């Protein structure tokens, strides 16, 4: 893996040694295992021919901006999937933390400001707000993890419950102080700059700061997954919880921490979501977990458990966003968009499972 050229040479040498039948099977396997990427390449080329604007720098800036927005959620939820679980509460946690961040970050002179006695918007307060919403997200994740680990409940049930509870809290929050369910608006300039301020421009399209934050988060998550005991324990528990327990891994703590870390990521996603949409409504974050789960699965984070790579998640998010951008540019109606997205997820999962079936 470290030396692609050498690997390739070796692969070609191996290939030459095979007999005709093996060669054929080898090629079919390779095409099937990479079918998704081959299809994406064809798709990108087709789009570029039909719509030359697709391959401009501005379009690329638009694409990475979207990837950066969807990546944190996928990075968080991936841990839950590695544990053979899932997290349905992610979207609503984003909604709640976006609302709280939004309220903390409203302009001082905004007419419909929900809470009057908040600190002035300074860099310190912005960072404090980020920390607060990340902690709130982590707390909900902790609740998820606790119930999953303590009572051996399936994460589907636990997170479905917290999803509903969180939405209830969101509705209650939006009705506070005579806000009467109206969207939270009037976000301060400082907050918007901190999250969405342009770092530089590509082809006239601004690249916001949260692209940088997404890169930092990715590096941090890569480190946690690959270089820490916690990360290794997570994969051990995901592949075989019993075996992990026997070899001395604290399964309870690992499960709780994975969900807590996921929750923290949702909290961060909420922190940037308000700026992205310009305002926060009670429906913010609705179904956001679906895209995140889909991205993970496409990127090879398997529901079988114990497998997955950070690079795969990034790839999964890219695939989903490329589909979105390309089909939007081609003017394909949204019903087809859903169908194509569904088909790709299905294919990705089927191809993924195929590898395990072959193994057995």
Partner 1 sequence: MKKLVAVGLASAMALSLTACGAKEQPAATTAAAAATEAATEAAKEEVKDDAKVVVFWYDESDVFLGFVRDAMNKEFEALGITPDNQFAANNQSTQIDQINTAIAGGADILVVNQVTSGASDTAEDILAAAGDIPVVFFNRPIGVDGSETPVLTENNTVAFIGTDAPEAGHMQGEMIGEYVVANFDAIDINKDGKISYAMMKGDEANVEAIYRTQYGLEDANAVIEAAGKPALVYFDAANTDCYQVDQGGAWSAAAAKEYMDTNFVSYNEANGNMIELVICNNDGMAEGVIASLQEKGYNTGDGHVVPVFGVDATDNAKALIADGAMTGTIKQDDKGMAAAVANTAKAILEGATPAEALASLNDDRFSIDAEINTKMYVAFAPYTGE
CA 261 vs CA 220, 255, 310, 346: distances in Å? 12, 10, 15, 28
Q: Which stretch binds partner 1 (CB under 8 A): 28-36, 74-82, 238-246, 258-266?
A: 28-36
Residue 276 binds partner 1 (CB under 8 A): yes
- Indicate the residue among 154 and 201 with the shorter CB distance to partner 1: 201
Give the end-to-end CA distance of the chain in Å, rounded to a whole number: 25
Q: Which stretch binds partner 1 (CB under 8 A): 48-56, 210-218, 258-266, 297-305?
A: 48-56
Residue 339 binds partner 1 (CB under 8 A): no
Here the contacts of 1-10 (C-beta below 8 Å, separation 24 or greater) are: none
Residues 306, 108: contact at Cβ < 8 Å? no
**16, burial (CB in 10 Å: exposed 0-12, middle 13-18, buried 19+):** exposed
Residue 289 binds partner 1 (CB under 8 A): no
Q: What is the x/- site pattern for partner 1, positions 199-228, by CB under 8 A?
A: ----x-x-----------------------
How far apart are the C-alpha atoms of 71 and 317, rounded to whole Å?
Answer: 6
CA atoms within 13 A on the CB side of 175: 6
The length of the chain is 360
Residues 93, 266: contact at Cβ < 8 Å? yes
Q: Which residues contact 10 (CB under 8 A, 6 or more apart)?
A: none
- Indicate the residue among 29 and 243 with the shorter CB distance to partner 1: 29
Residue 144 binds partner 1 (CB under 8 A): no
- Indicate the residue among 175 and 350 with the shorter CB distance to partner 1: 175
Nearest of 39, 91, 67 to residue 316 by alpha carbon: 67
Neighbours of 179 (CB within 10 A): 16
Q: Give the nearest distance from C-beta 160 to partner 1 in angstroms.
A: 15
Nearest of 103, 96, 270 to residue 168 by alpha carbon: 96
Residue 197 binds partner 1 (CB under 8 A): no
Residue 114 binds partner 1 (CB under 8 A): no
Residue 163 binds partner 1 (CB under 8 A): no
Nearest of 300, 307, 312, 313 to residue 349 by alpha carbon: 300
How far apart are the C-alpha atoms of 97 and 195, rounded to whole Å?
Answer: 15
Q: Give the nearest distance from C-beta 235 to partner 1 in angstroms.
A: 18
Q: Which stretch binds partner 1 (CB under 8 A): 51-59, 222-230, 234-242, 302-310?
A: 51-59
Residue 112 binds partner 1 (CB under 8 A): yes
Pick the binder of partner 1 from 64, 281, 297, 319 (CB under 8 A).
281
Q: Which stretch binds partner 1 (CB under 8 A): 50-58, 127-135, 231-239, 302-310?
A: 50-58
Q: Which residues contact 332 (CB under 8 A, 6 or more apart)?
A: 340
Residue 266 binds partner 1 (CB under 8 A): no
- Indicate the residue among 26 and 43 with the shorter CB distance to partner 1: 26
Pick the binder of partner 1 from 59, 159, 260, 302 (CB under 8 A).
59
Q: Give the nearest distance from C-beta 302 to partner 1 in angstroms.
A: 15
Which positions lie near partner 1, rule CB under 8 A?
Answer: 1, 4-5, 7-8, 10-11, 14-15, 26, 29-30, 33-34, 37, 41, 51-60, 62, 65-66, 69, 111-112, 167, 171, 174-175, 180-183, 185-187, 203, 205, 273, 276-279, 281-284, 286-287, 324-325, 328-329, 331, 333-335
């Amino acid at each position: 893996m470290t030396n692609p050229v050498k690997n390739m040479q070796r692969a070609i040498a191996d290939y030459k040694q095979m007999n005709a039948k093996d060669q054929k099977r080898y090629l079919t396997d390779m095409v099937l295992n990479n079918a998704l990427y081959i299809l994406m390449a064809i798709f990108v080329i087709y789009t570029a021919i039909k719509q030359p604007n697709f391959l401009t720098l501005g379009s690329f800036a638009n694409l990475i901006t979207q990837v950066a927005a969807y990546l944190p959620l996928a990075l968080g939820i991936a841990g839950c999937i590695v544990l053979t679980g899932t997290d349905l509460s992610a979207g609503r946690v984003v909604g709640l933390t976006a609302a709280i961040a939004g309220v903390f970050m409203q302009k001082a002179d905004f007419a419909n400001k929900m809470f009057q006695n908040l600190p002035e918007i300074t860099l310190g307060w912005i960072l404090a707000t980020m920390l607060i919403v990340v902690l709130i997200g982590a707390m909900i994740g902790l609740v998820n993890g606790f119930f999953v680990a303590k009572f051996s409940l399936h994460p589907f049930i636990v997170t479905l419950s917290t999803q509903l509870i969180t939405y209830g809290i969101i509705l209650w929050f939006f009705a506070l102080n005579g806000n009467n369910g109206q969207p939270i608006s009037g976000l301060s300039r400082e907050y918007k700059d901190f999250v969405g301020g342009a770092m530089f421009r590509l082809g006239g399209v601004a690249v916001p700061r949260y692209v940088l934050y997404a890169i930092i988060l990715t590096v941090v998550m890569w480190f946690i997954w690959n270089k820490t005991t916690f990360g290794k324990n997570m994969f051990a528990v995901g592949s075989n919880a019993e075996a992990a327990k026997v070899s001395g891994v604290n399964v309870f703590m690992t499960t709780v921490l994975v969900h807590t870390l996921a929750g923290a990521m949702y909290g961060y996603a909420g922190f940037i979501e308000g700026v992205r949409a310009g305002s926060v409504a009670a429906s913010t974050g609705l179904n956001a977990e679906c895209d995140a789960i889909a991205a993970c699965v496409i990127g090879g984070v398997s529901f079988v458990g114990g497998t997955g790579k950070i690079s795969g998640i990034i790839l999964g998010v890219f695939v989903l966003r490329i589909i979105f951008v390309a089909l939007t540019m081609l003017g394909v109606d949204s019903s087809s968009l859903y169908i194509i997205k569904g088909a790709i997820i299905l294919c990705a999962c089927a191809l993924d499972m195929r590898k395990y079936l072959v193994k057995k």
